[in-house]
Amino acid sequence: MSVADTVGAGDSFQAALLAWLGGTLAFRREALSLITDRELNATLRFACTAAGLTCSRRGADLPTRDEIELALAAADDS
């Protein structure tokens, strides 16, 4: 993947991080304190993939969840 623009990468990372945590109910302090290394890795991988996709586009064009999931699946296949 080539870099076209870095505008929005941080916003994309944060949004994806919050979306992932919200989807796994880890917003509760107790849940966050019990997160495993594997869960943390999956969370950060999701957020980094979102930021990477954003950097591959011009402007702050954040990816959808489906686009992130497709990119993760493609990376797993290679």
Distance CA 4, CA 71 (A): 17
Per domain, the residue ranges of the chain are: 9-77
1, two tokens: 């993947």
The full length of the chain comes to: 78
Distance CA 25, CA 74 (A): 26
Per-residue confidence band for 31, with pLDDT thresholds at 50, 70 and 90? confident
Residue range 39-49: mean pLDDT, rounded: 94
* DSSP structure class, residue 4: S
Distance CA 29, CA 59 (A): 34
Distance CA 53, CA 64 (A): 10
pLDDT at 24: 72
Per-residue confidence band for 1, with pLDDT thresholds at 50, 70 and 90? confident
Per-residue confidence band for 52, with pLDDT thresholds at 50, 70 and 90? very high
